[in-house]
Amino acid sequence: MASVTITIRSDGYVDPPTAPIQRNGEIYTLTDNITIGQEATPVASLIIERDNIVLDGAGITIHNRASTPGSIHGITPIPVGIIVNGRDNITIKNIELIEFYYGIQLTSSSNIIIVSNTITASRGAALFLSESSNNSILINDIRENSQALRFSKCNNNIVSGNNITSIHCDWWTFLLSESSNNTISNNTFANNGLFVIGSYGNIVDNNLVNGKPLVCLEGVSGYAVEDAGQVILVDCSSIIIENLSISDTDVGIELWRTNDTTIAQNKLTRNGFGIWLRYSGHNNISKNCLEENSECGIWLEESSDNNIIENNITNNKNFGGLYLKQFSNNNHFYHNYWSSYDGLDANNDGIGDTPYVIDENNVDNFPQTNAEQAFQNLLQKYNDLRNDLTNLTSSYNEYKTSIQSELNYTKNLMYTFMATTTALAVSTIYFAKRKPKKQP
């Protein structure tokens, strides 16, 4: 069936009656694939207006094939697979949703169970929940979506046992925005992760990001993170994050209202954001490698009095190596390597001769230049000096040999002269003694 919106009305009636849905009491089972074609402009493929029902997809596919949505009365609708608005006690299971902007959208709904579905290639979010609480999202396969889950003002939900994979990292894959007291457990994230904005009291336990633990701490002090595929800190202090390698997640290390924390000697590559701070101050970020992050190397938002020291910040895209958003002041930068620094290093000591200006309030006064190039320059100087010393030593040895030869010649000449003189004196004396005396 193609190009039509199917609605399960509040009285249980299925509209249109030709829709491929079989009703058995309060169980509605799909009986054929549903496709929205290029010519279609429905707001959604399926709208549920009835409480206390089960929608069983029985493995059926609902596919949006429209590359761009059409227009209704000048308004461009957002294609959504399933819409649930203001409903209670519904189970949605065993459905495959492909290429919608939102796969499933819940608004002001509760006690909804979304279980064992496959949602692929959504352009907005696979699951979008707004002001919806006490719902369960269980063992779904959510893959190749721009974003996986978006929670906006949603509390007391359970997200467990889901497989969440992406082709590449985006700003976020699972966003908790102003959403509290949710339980997120036993999920596997690949090429993505969790992102928290203004959300508290959430239980995040036993999740994996690219095969490593998702470490999400709230209200913790004096703790050292030993291994992680992603680190999220909320209202924490004095946390130590050292010697980790974090790649291919939305944000490698996120600090929200977290202070006095050390982030040192970590390798943060190919993430959306390498390090992200908001409302966080007096943290030390030093000697980290931040390379090829798609959005930004280090993002500071309303975060001041942080120390950013001796970091290697190279080839970060979009917002660059460092982005300072509003009210981020009095941060201290020095001895960082900025791949965009174009100043000189006349003495090849690895420190730029001029400051690296980040903005009018933030400057790295002692930026590192290209460490490899500086090393090569110093190595060349060393080799030149060594060659000069070798040449000088060779000249000295040649001079020494020449002098020694002269001395030896002079010495031999003196010996010859002395021997000759001595022989002549002896001969004179000898012959003088043998001369015959005259007879009287």
pLDDT band at 211 (very low <50, low <70, confident <90, very high): very high
pLDDT at 39: 54
pLDDT digits (tens, 9 = 90+) for 38-62: 554 556 789 999 999 999 999 999 9
Both tokens assigned to 391: 């040449």
Domain with CATH 2.160.20.10 in the chain: 1-165
pLDDT surpasses 90 at 244: yes
Select the more confidently predicted residue: 326 or 75. Answer: 326
Q: How far is CA 303 from the centre of its chain?
A: 19
- Looking at mean pLDDT, say which of 30-34, 229-233, 366-370 comes out highest: 229-233
Query: What are the start-end ranges of the E strands in 50-99?
Result: 53-56, 61-64, 80-85, 88-93, 96-98
pLDDT at 421: 72
pLDDT at 340: 76
pLDDT digits (tens, 9 = 90+) for 98-152: 999 899 999 999 999 999 999 998 888 999 999 999 999 999 999 988 889 999 9
pLDDT surpasses 70 at 11: yes
In CATH, 211-369 is 3.30.360 = no
Q: Amino acid letter at 136?
A: S
pLDDT digits (tens, 9 = 90+) for 158-182: 999 999 998 766 667 899 999 999 9
As a whole number, mean pLDDT of residues 80-100 equals: 96
pLDDT band at 439 (very low <50, low <70, confident <90, very high): low
Q: What is the DSSP string of 378-425?
A: HHHHHHHHHHHHHHHHHHHHHHHHHHHHHHHHHHHHHHHHHHHHHHHH
The lowest-confidence range among 56-70, 347-361, 397-411 is 397-411
pLDDT surpasses 50 at 70: no
pLDDT at 335: 84
pLDDT at 71: 45
- 280 Cβ partners below 8 Å, 6+ apart? 255, 256, 257, 258, 259, 261, 303, 306
Helix, strand, or coil (residue 371): helix
pLDDT at 409: 67
pLDDT at 97: 95
Nearest to 112 by CA among 133, 131, 81: 133
pLDDT at 263: 98
If you average pLDDT over every residue of the chain, what do you get?
Answer: 87
pLDDT digits (tens, 9 = 90+) for 318-328: 998 999 987 88
pLDDT at 12: 96
Handedness of CA 283, 289, 295, 296 (dihedral sign): positive
pLDDT at 280: 97
pLDDT at 377: 55
- Gap between the Cα atoms of 92 and 87, Å rounded: 13
As a whole number, mean pLDDT of residues 369-384 equals: 62
pLDDT at 380: 67
Considering the domain delimited by 1-165, tell me its CATH architecture: 3 Solenoid (2.160)
Helix, strand, or coil (residue 373): helix
pLDDT digits (tens, 9 = 90+) for 348-366: 777 777 888 877 777 887 7
pLDDT surpasses 80 at 388: no
- Cα 66–Cα 71–Cα 76 angle in degrees, nearest 5: 85
